[in-house]
Amino acid sequence: MIKKKSCELPLDKFINLSLYDKKFGFYMKKDPFGKKGDFITAPNVSRLFSEMIAIWIISFWKNLRAPKKFNLVELGAGNGEMMKIMLESFQNFPSFLKSCNFVIHEKSPTLIKLQKKKLSKYKISWVSQINKIKKNPCIFIANEFFDAMPIKQFRKYKNIWYEKFVNFESLSKASFIEKKTDIKKFEKKINFKISENQDFIECSETGLNYLKKISNIIKKNNGGILLIDYGNFDKKMKNTLQAVSNHKFANILKNIGNADITHNINFELFEKFTKKLGGLKNNFNTQKNFLIKMGIKQRAELISRDKDFLKKADIFYRLNRLIDEKQMGTLFKVMFIKDKKNNFNLGF
């Protein structure tokens, strides 16, 4: 927490404070999901989304030769909706259920409480550190996980790099400032030459650390990660920092702790970073194409068959939100990271 009247914080530390401060952090004190919250994620739009992910997971498990013991890890499980629907779907696959160790990695005590309530009839363990997970093959699922990470921003001006800071004149008055920085120090820290061909850098050190840890687990124990988030494939990074409160864009520096601060994932950076780690292979798609390839339209047809007109309309309205290009369809991308020897590409 900010103790002094005036102080300067690097952007990532400011975001961390706004989102995860134990007392007033956005994710630490409330359930931000759904109509009554601040934003809606795909699992809360339609159960079809989570059903498609469940089918994908079972297929990938079979591709891994159906290991008798493996971990299914959801990173940042929100209000628990996706895990709930997936578990309902898994009930039809007893041998999968018997083999699977269900794990949720969550930072917010408020959300853990919510998840435990929603998932009370299932056997799930919660971990605060992913390297504490049992050493079995792992399938990681990350839906809108990486966009909630604190980010740093740097800008190159006349060959000099500057880092973005938040300057607090008082607790209620804050502004952005830039300070000269040695970009090589940051590159050494993340062990990656991020400034190459860039005039602007936006990246999450925490996010890259997660990618590194997960990639090492995949290489050591087998498995993969399915990562779904909004983002772009731009070669040049750009400023995508934004705040959302009550389903509307908000001012990042006002009402700190009451708005979600987020950014678009640069998948080009994720690909370069995982390539450098070696031994891995990536697949990419848009959410629209991924879900359609997984059979979401056929599933919608099937479940709407004997429904009345209003229920039918609701199913297809929700489906449309997930796959329409003007909605979540192309804004959201899907990335699959796996061992380079593995050719599984369902949905891609």
8 Å CB contact between 105 and 75: yes
Which residue type is seen at 263?
A: H
Which residues pair with residue 242 across a beta bridge? 262
Single out the residue of 302, 215, 294, 253 nearest to residue 17, CA to CA: 253
Q: How far apart are CA 332 and CA 330, in angstroms?
A: 5
Burial grade of 207 (CB within 10 A; 0-12, 13-18, 19 or more):
buried
Burial grade of 286 (CB within 10 A; 0-12, 13-18, 19 or more):
middle
Cα–chain center distance at 330: 16
DSSP letter at 128?
A: S
Q: Give the pLDDT score at 1.
A: 46
8 Å CB contact between 8 and 165: yes
Residues 6 or more apart in contact with residue 170 via CB below 8 angstroms:
5, 6
Query: What's the chain's length in residues?
Result: 348
3-state SS, residue 316: helix
For the stretch 125-180, pLDDT in tens is 999 999 889 899 999 999 999 998 999 999 999 999 999 999 988 767 889 999 99
Please provide the DSSP assignment of 244-312 as one string: EETTEEE-TTSSTTSSEEE--EEHHHHHHHHHHH-SEEEEEEEHHHHHHHTTHHHHHHHHHTTS-HHHH
Please identify every stretch of the chain with a pLDDT value under 70, giving residue numbers as ranges: 1-6, 29-39, 171, 247
* Assigned CATH topology for domain 30-149+197-339: Rossmann fold (3.40.50)
Q: For CA atoms 53, 333, 37, 326, give the dihedral sign.
A: negative
Q: Give the pLDDT score at 5.
A: 53
Residue with tokens 């018997």: 98
Torsion, CA 290, CA 296, CA 297, CA 298, rounded to 10: 130
Q: Parallel, antiparallel, or unpaired for β 223-232 and 138-143? A: parallel
Single pTM value for the model: 0.92
Single out the residue of 42, 242, 272 nearest to residue 144, CA to CA: 42
8 Å CB contact between 146 and 207: yes
DSSP letter at 130?
A: G
Single out the residue of 207, 218, 338, 195 nearest to residue 264, CA to CA: 207
Single out the residue of 229, 233, 291 nearest to residue 51, CA to CA: 291
Q: How far apart are CA 292 and CA 287, in angstroms?
A: 8
Q: How far apart are CA 107 and CA 20, in angstroms?
A: 8
Q: How far apart are CA 166 and CA 13, in angstroms?
A: 9
DSSP letter at 36?
A: T
Q: Where are the domains of the chain?
A: 30-149+197-339
Q: Give the pLDDT score at 149.
A: 92
